Structures are given as C-alpha cells and as structure tokens.
Structure 1
C-alpha cells in the first residue's frame, strides 16, 4: 500500500513537471522565440509599397540643436514639463512635430524584420534607419493579432481592438479594427496604423472610462491601469503631431500618470485625437543619438518597432 502511494505521488509529480515543461515551452514559443514572417522589410516595402519613399526636403539646409530639428517645413521641438513635488512629481517629455508630408513620419521594425518576438533597442532601430527622432511604437510583435500597416504596406490583417490610422493626407482617426480590413484602410489612404490603445482623446475631449480599460500588455499582466510610464501620440491637425513620453516608477523624479492624466496632458497641448502606445519600461523618446527620458527599467528596453523621422 505504501509503495502504491509513493508511486502515485511520483506519477503526480511527473505529470506536474510535464505540464510545467509544456507550459514553459508554450510560453517561450509565444513570447520569447522570434518568428520571422518578413526577413527583409526594406525589400518587402520596396516591392509592395505604392510609394515608400518619404517626401523629404533634401535640398533644404537642416538645422539641428540640442532640442530641435528643422529641415524645410519639417520640424521637431522637444520640451520637458515637470509638475508636482516630492513623490507626486510628474516629468513629461513633449515632442511637437510638424511634417512637410505625412510620409515623413515613418515606422521601422527591429532588425529590419517583421514577425513576433523580434526586438531591438529603440536606439539601435533608430540609428539603423538614420533617424533624428524616434519613440517606441505599439510593440506589435508581442501580439499575433491587430491590423498592421506601416509605411503604406500591409503586414497583418487580423482586426482585434481599437486602432489608430494615420492617413497620407496627414489626418488621423480612431477606428474599430474588427469592422474593416487592411485593404479597405489602404484604399482610403492609410499610411500607418497602430494597434494598442485605447484612444484617450477624441474630438478634443478626454475619453470617459479609460482608466478601467484592460489591454493585452503582457501574459496575465494588465499593468495599463494606475500610475505608469506612458507613451502617446496626439494629432493637433493635419501633419501637426505631438508625442508625449511620461517617466514613472521613480519616486521624487516622476511617479507616472494614469490614463486620464495622460489624456489631460494631451488636451492641454491642443490635440483633437490622442492614442496610447506601449508604455511601462518600453516608454522612450530618442533624439539625435541620445535617450531623452529616463526609462523605468534603468535603461532602454528592446521593443519591436519605432515611429521616427529621418535626417
């Protein structure tokens, strides 16, 4: 009898170990192991894009300072806003961007590849694409769903959530991915889509209930709630954009903000539409070879994609 009990315990232990091993294998495959769908994004965009060449002011003389860049009618100006004191301090980095053409705002994927779990530091991806300014994107590579259109090219067509589309005419709109297709968006002039969210400002007003929204940010982790580091994009009008990165998890320097507080910042900047991007340790603003903010991980976190402006 005692022997059978020991055998039963051993069998149960082995079963648990197998389940645990199986779960670990599944988790590694789903969240860690790279799955490359497009091995050379540059070549893919050249072959599939209607016009993947950004409209740049090549003949214009560029002006670059510690916190600004101007080339023709494209400009980037970065400012820092600090509010509160002590443990209630909030530090936000604001980049006001004016584009000569919507296609000047581009997206780049880590390692020039598209797929799941492909990552690189924001600085690495920015430098590989001759960027002068960049922010982290929506970390599309964590997910296997969502509509992904970048630089006028369709990469994924699997509507799942509330997205943001930026059109070639410089306007933008919040939309329900499940009610359209990537091709329909492309036909309407989509240049870039972002799939994270939620929308935090619409028609110039803070969207109600955004502090209770859950986003699939991580396996079993809905850390989008509460005071967190944040990255957001806001549209003031056609070809006039602001990016906001708020640092967090750093008492005395910046506690982070709630979603509603992030929306309030955006409204104060005059946006008509604003959309939340990947945050937490991913939140990063990069300019002219330097990380502008203080990422909460103590350094850059590898992400799957960036939004950037090239020199």
Structure 2
C-alpha cells in the first residue's frame, strides 16, 4: 500500500457513532429526531453500482515549495500528484494537487459507502476506493448527511430535490455550475450529465474566482452551519475537457497546515488554470487516496473519517 503518512490509523465507524450518540444524548430527550436523521442508517438503494442509466430517482517540498509526489499513466488516464507547502510556522499551508487527464470522461466516477445509497451510510474513503479499484479518489459531497440536492452518479439519478448550487459533469468531458432549483434530474440526464455534486459553493467560473464565496453558508442544518474561515478543504475543478484538478488542503494542525479560506481555495484552482471549480465536503472528511494509500494528513492525525461517497478515477 502506498502512503505519504507512515503512521496512518483508521477510525472505526463504531467510534464515530458513539461520539454522535453522546452529543445527541447531551441535547436531551428532544434529540430523538436528530438521532434518527443524522446517525441511524437509512438505506434507500442497495447494490447501487449495479444500476444503469435506465434507472432514475429512487514526497517533501523542494525550495520552490512544490514537488511532484508521484504519478500514474495508463491507456485511459494520466495522473500527476504534487505536494505543495507555502508559508511557515502558524501560517504554513500544505495541500495536494492531482492533475488528471482522461481519455473518456466516464472513467471519472462516484461510489457510495457499502455500495448503498441512503442517509448516514459511511465508510472510510480508502475503503470505498478499494471496493471499486480506484486509482485516485477524493471524498465527495457527503450526500448522505442531507436529504436534499440532485444526486446523479455514473449516469443514474438517485435523488431529485434541488436545493443549492451544484456541479454537473457531462459525458463529453465538460463540467458546469448550475442552479439545482431551476432544473430536474431528468432534464440533466437528457442533456448528457454523467455525475452531479451537491455541496458548494462554486469557486471558479469562466476562469475567475467567484465573488462573495467567503459569505456563503452551505447548509443551516444540524452540525453544518458554515464552511468559512481557515479550514481543511476538498475540491474539484476542470481546466478543459477531460482535464481535471482534484485538490485537498490539510488544516487545523498548527505548524503543518492551518487550512485555507474559501477565496484562498478558489485562487489555488484559478492559478492552475481551472475554468470551473467547486467546493466539496471538507474538515476532517478531506482525503485523497492514491493506489490504496492515504496521500494527505487529515487534521494532522493521519487518519480518515467516514463519509458517504467518493469521486474517483477508475483503473
């Protein structure tokens, strides 16, 4: 197993749930609704990867601050990963950039934890990646934390409840930001959409950092009020057709990486030529997996946190 962190440790799902149960218990008897909504599994679709498009809703840095960490080349994809370190001391930022070129847009795919679609179903990103033989993967939008959004994965629509700004990947290798509330999953599929992501906000559009993103709240629901400030972050961008950027920024670890603000994150994408870019679930969920190994160092602790989905490049 390849890994940039030799002391990678796994966090058990049982431990995660125990922490959540303790928090809810502290909230009092009225927290029963939250226990059901945010902790207990709600499987809606099993064997999700077997569905077809006919189904519908149901290395160390050098003096310059960058270093090519590793790479991968096949008949279908070329991947180059860089570790970037900027600043020093309490202002140091460490992040990882995967520059991805594919010959066929449909090898950029999504996978669900336990191959099940629903709420509160989680697994470590490396476990999800291993289950689909992913070459490269990042955590996705944690769709299972909420019951809204348009969720199209690998040409199949699983949810059609528009609520926010989304990102659509098309089978022709293009991508665009869109307003979920102004369309439907059926219309997106008819237009050739292969995958959607529903978190946000959008970071870059037409090659320019989007203004006002430092004021956006992704959700106002339990436990996910704001994504602002210096945070660990995961995002995806598109330079041009079939040329993507997967970027993971570590954070909340003094002396290793403070994390970045939303505008700073957007600027990283813009500086690398992204025409469009989009923010995904971050914090302790931020993870990059390459050939089975954890590339980044989440929260400076070298361990992953369970999530509901990944975005990956198939082998």
TM-superposed deviation, 1:48: 2.8
The residue aligned with 1:173 is 176
2:21 is aligned with 1:39:
no
* Conserved 8 A contact 2:69-2:82: no
Looking at both structures, which has the greater relative contact order when contacts are Cα pairs under 8 Å and sequence separation is at least 6?
2
User: SS of the counterpart of 1:185?
Assistant: helix
Per-residue Cα deviation, 1:257-287 (whole angstroms, up to 9, x for no partner): 0000001101110001000000000100010
Structure 2 CA distance for aligned equivalents of residues 139 and 35 of structure 1? 14
The residue aligned with 2:231 is 228
The residue aligned with 2:287 is 284
Structure 2 CA distance for aligned equivalents of residues 237 and 167 of structure 1? 12
TM-superposed deviation, 1:221: 3.9
Structure 1 CA distance for aligned equivalents of residues 236 and 49 of structure 2? 25
Range with greater deviation from structure 2 (248-257 or 71-80):
71-80
Spell out structure 1 runs of 4+ moving beyond 6 A. Answer: none
Larger Rg, first or second structure (1 or 2): 1
Structure 1 CA distance for aligned equivalents of residues 257 and 27 of structure 2? 39
* Conserved 8 A contact 2:252-2:300: no
The residue aligned with 1:307 is 311
The unaligned stretches of length 5 or more in structure 2 are: 1-24, 57-67
TM-superposed deviation, 1:217: 7.4
TM-superposed deviation, 1:19: 12
When the two chains are superposed, the root-mean-square deviation of aligned CA atoms in Å is 1.9
* Conserved 8 A contact 2:215-2:228: yes
The residue aligned with 2:32 is 25
The residue aligned with 2:250 is 247
* Conserved 8 A contact 1:74-1:99: yes
* Conserved 8 A contact 1:217-1:224: no
Structure 1 CA distance for aligned equivalents of residues 27 and 225 of structure 2? 23
Tell me the TM-score normalized by structure 1.
0.86
2:104 is aligned with 1:97:
no
The residue aligned with 1:56 is none
Tell me the TM-score normalized by structure 2.
0.85
TM-superposed deviation, 1:22: 4.2
The correspondence of residues 266-281 of structure 1 with structure 2, limited to 5 A, is 266-281=269-284
* Conserved 8 A contact 1:163-1:194: yes
The correspondence of residues 176-255 of structure 1 with structure 2, limited to 5 A, is 176-216=179-219, 219-255=222-258
